[in-house]
Amino acid sequence: MNAAIKKHIQFVLEDDSEVMSAALTGDLDDENKRMNRALIKRHEAILAKLDNGKTLSQEDLQLIRDANEIHLNDGANLNGHHRQAVKLDRWLDHMMELDKDKAMQILEQWLDRDARTPARVYRALHTLWEEATPNDVVDEDAFDDEGRCFKCGSRVSFADVADTVVFVGDEIVKRYDGDITNRNCVWCNHPKQYSEFAHHDDDGGSSMRANRHQSGARR
């Protein structure tokens, strides 16, 4: 581990512990106080591992990522540690194991940044996704009861409908209406097309545009 990374890990853990221990004297309820104390202990254990040159566990790395987040999100560098936080985040990317869902999410996110990505790349991704979810079940709902996207709150979505048509020669003689498949939030998945439909959302989508930079943040 390089010295600068180690130093920044020590900083984020100590900084986070300081904030949590300050909160202990405030009007936190007992449950939250108990959680803060437990987390401070975990931070101390990680700091001790660093001092002794011991290997950090995946769980340790996740706690470091959590503590680093506030500095990572500090794009205006108000606390003066943004640059180091970005470096630590990249280092964590290399060190932390990636599950299939997370891998899929990263690929989708990067593909959606480039309007020139050919459709076959999305098809390939979809195939991988189906491999990763063998029962064809996505275990998390993407929309709430009112059809609102859980990620961004938008009510606008695109859905594919697969009809089956019966051809006789070149002539269609019968059509069976299909089910809706692949429903995708337009704001999250097709941002370039969103403006066309923005007026269907409550405030014309302005709250989502304002939150654009936080869309990747943990809730």
Q: Of the candidates 9, 4, 6, 139, which has an alpha carbon nearest to the alpha carbon of residue 62?
A: 9
Provide, rounded to whole angstroms, the least separation between the CB of residue 187 and Zn ion. Answer: 5
SS3 at position 152:
coil
Question: Which of 81, 187, 191, 201 touches Zn ion by CB under 5 A?
Answer: 187
Please say which residue, 91 or 187, places its beta carbon nearer to Zn ion. 187
Q: Residue 124 corresponds to which amino acid? A: A
Please say which residue, 85 or 186, places its beta carbon nearer to Zn ion. 186
Does residue 194 belong to the site contacting Zn ion (CB under 5 A)?
no
SS3 at position 66:
helix
Does residue 209 belong to the site contacting Zn ion (CB under 5 A)?
no
Task: Note whether 194 and 187 are within 8 A (CB).
Answer: yes
* Helix pair 30-51, 58-72: axis angle to 10 deg: 110
Which range binds Zn ion by CB under 5 A, 56-64, 104-112, 124-132, 180-188? Answer: 180-188
Question: Which of 33, 42, 82, 151 touches Zn ion by CB under 5 A?
Answer: 151
Does residue 185 belong to the site contacting Zn ion (CB under 5 A)?
yes
Number of residues that bind Zn ion (CB under 5 A): 7
User: What token pair was written down for 145?
Assistant: 């009861």
Please say which residue, 85 or 152, places its beta carbon nearer to Zn ion. 152
Does residue 188 belong to the site contacting Zn ion (CB under 5 A)?
yes
Does residue 156 belong to the site contacting Zn ion (CB under 5 A)?
no
Task: Note whether 179 and 159 are within 8 A (CB).
Answer: no
Burial of 46 (C-beta count, 10 Å sphere; 0-12/13-18/19+): buried
> What is the C-alpha to C-alpha distance for residues 98 and 87, in angstroms, rounded to an integer?
18
Which range binds Zn ion by CB under 5 A, 3-11, 107-115, 142-150, 190-198? Answer: 142-150
Residues that bind Zn ion (CB under 5 A): 149, 151-152, 154, 185, 187-188
